Structure 1
Amino acid sequence: MIAPQPLPLRDIHQPPAPPWWPPAPGWWWLAAAVLVLLGFAIWWWLRARRRRAAFVRLFDAGVAAAATPPGRVAAMSELLRRAARRHQPGAERLHGEAWLAFLDGNADAPEGRRPFSDGPGRALLDAGFRREVDDDVAAALLPLARRRYLELMGARG
């Protein structure tokens, strides 16, 4: 009897790894989705910036059109009432302390955080109707009114 010959055995060979390029179709879809979302986010951000800039220009032009400090305060009051109507219908009809409380926004704010009821915003009650108003009053009211106008118009930032 003939002895069987030993078989030549070799190690197991793994197939070569798949190449990294070109990626599978799923990766292309994922990249396209990420690019679309990124493009949409940039478009939304630019739109918000342009919108805010347009609101700032509208506010500044309305205030600059008034030649006197009482006229500037009256213009700020008018613009704030328009923005209030857009934000919450019927809010433009508020008067006195209720109007100032609405402009303050959060009713639960501490004393120092009520710039319209307790600060320079009180000029909105009657400064627009006076013959003479100190220019400092209108200048102190301007940044406060602009910021609240932008909040009411929905253009934060």
Structure 2
Amino acid sequence: MNSQDPLAQLRDIHLPATGGWWPPAPGWWLLAVIILITCAALAWFWRRHHTRNAWKRQARTELAILEQHACNEPAWYSRLNSLLKRVARQTHPDQHPESMTGAQWVSFLLETLPKDRIASRPTAEALAAAVWQPKPTLAPREALALARVWLEAQL
């Protein structure tokens, strides 16, 4: 080859160096922001749902504790009625069930009971009266059965 030939002095075609992985393209930044916002929103909604339903978990736990310590004492029936009234206050706040007693409380329980309202009337009446009787006539298992059915309908 001739050293005077200018074309002989040219180098071969070479590709430019590839770009690195950083910084990412604007589309990846946008996707990252969308994913972060979505994750934050999901975490916020889950936490909100979890805290709003904490009373439901607490009611189920308290019912389980009452089942374990079932006895035929007015104090036990009072705790069971108290649990039912707290749940009723959460589910029916406009009716003010926490202030109901006697026949009014019994009729509220029966109105909000999903099934067997007529058959459950004696049990509901005995549950409301058991708080004031020195020796309640209602068996704890019957009261628990009514409370369980009523609570599951409300929760």
TM-score by length of 2: 0.53
Q: What is the aligned residue count?
A: 128
- Distance in 1 (alpha carbons) for counterparts of 2:82 and 2:67: 10
Q: Which runs of 5+ in 1 are unaligned?
A: 1-20
2:150 aligned with 1:144: no
- Distance in 1 (alpha carbons) for counterparts of 2:50 and 2:89: 26
Q: Cα RMSD between the aligned structures?
A: 4.0
Q: Which runs of 5+ in 2 are unaligned?
A: 1-23
Give 1:35 shift: 0.9
- Distance in 2 (alpha carbons) for counterparts of 1:92 and 1:115: 23
2:129 aligned with 1:123: no
**Equivalent pair of 1:66/1:75 in contact (CA under 8 Å):** no
Q: Select which of 45, 48, 56 maps to 1:44.
A: 48
Output the amino acid matched with 2:110. D
SS of the counterpart of 1:68? Answer: coil
Where do 1:1-157 residues align within 5 Å?
22=25, 24=27, 25-47=29-51, 50-61=54-65, 67-84=71-88, 87-88=93-94, 90-106=96-112, 112-114=115-117, 118=121, 120-128=123-131, 129-134=133-138, 137-146=139-148, 148=150, 156=155
Identity across the alignment (%): 18
Give the greater-gyration-radius structure (CA).
Answer: 2
* Structure whose residues are more often helix by fraction: 2
Distance 1:58 1:96, change over 3 A: same
Greater mean alpha carbon deviation, residues 52-61 or residues 137-146: 52-61
Distance 1:39 1:83, change over 3 A: closer
**Equivalent pair of 1:69/1:133 in contact (CA under 8 Å):** no
Where relative contact order (Cα < 8 A, 6+ residues apart) is larger, the structure is 1
